[in-house]
Amino acid sequence: MFFHIVLERNMLLHPRYFGRNLRDNLVSKLMKDVEGTCSGRHGFVVAVTGIENVGKGLIRDGTGFVTFPVKYQCVVFRPFKGEIVEAVVTMVNKMGFFGEAGPVQIFVSNHLIPDDMEFQSGDMPNYTTSDGSVKIQKDSEVRLKIIGTRVDATEIFCIGTIKDDFLGVINDPTTV
């Protein structure tokens, strides 16, 4: 789920940032550029934790910009098939529901919801057990298992299930 890895990036810096605070400007630009982004290979970059090395800059012809190779340590979030995560439900419809676990959006199909839960439409759509004791609706917290992932260049999508032992609603917003 969370990994501490070393990545490299070529940073392009404008000449106005040259001077005494060159390294600080480079680090702040790196943090602004990479934190919160997603690479399909490594996952979502949560935070830059350190700078290992800043290489020698190379002046770009005709512009004055300088490219610095930067090697940095960061924490990344990468979900895997078979992993158990806790998510907040963001949308419920007759096809299933969507939940968010941090930056990852997870879809749980109605086929992957226990058979004793039925969809209830109305002003607040939800899935409710036949006895009404458990309800999945917007803002409910659920524990689910990731059964599939699809990785794009800049995004990760997941399919989950709550049709297993110890999975399902862990916090219902209506009971708080």
Pairing of β 141-151 and β 84-93: antiparallel
pLDDT, tens digit, for every residue of 31-77? 999 999 998 889 999 999 999 999 999 999 888 899 999 999 999 99
Q: Is 29 helix (H, G, I), strand (E, B) or coil?
A: helix
Q: Give, as one character, the DSSP assignment of residue 175.
A: G
pTM, 2 dp: 0.82
Hey, where are the domains in the chain? 2-77, 83-171
176 has pLDDT over 60: no
Domain made up of 83-171: CATH architecture:
Beta Barrel (2.40)
* Count of other CB atoms within 10 angstroms of residue 97: 28
Nearest alpha-carbon partner for 148 in 108, 98, 116, 100: 108
Spell out a b/e string for 19-45, using b for 16 or more CB atoms within 10 Å of the CB, else e.
eeeeeebbbebbbeebeeebbeeebbb
Are 84 and 105 in contact, with CB atoms under 8 Å apart? no
Class of the 2-77 domain? alpha beta
Task: Report percent pLDDT > 70 for the chain.
Answer: 98
Return d(Cα 114, Cα 167) in angstroms, integer.
10
pLDDT, tens digit, for every residue of 108-143? 999 999 999 999 998 999 999 988 888 999 999 999
Split at pLDDT 50, 70, 90, the class of 156 is confident
pLDDT, tens digit, for every residue of 75-104? 999 999 999 999 999 999 999 999 999 889
How many residues does this entry show for the chain? 176
Q: Which amino acid is at 158?
A: C
69 membership: H or E segment, kind and range: strand 66-77
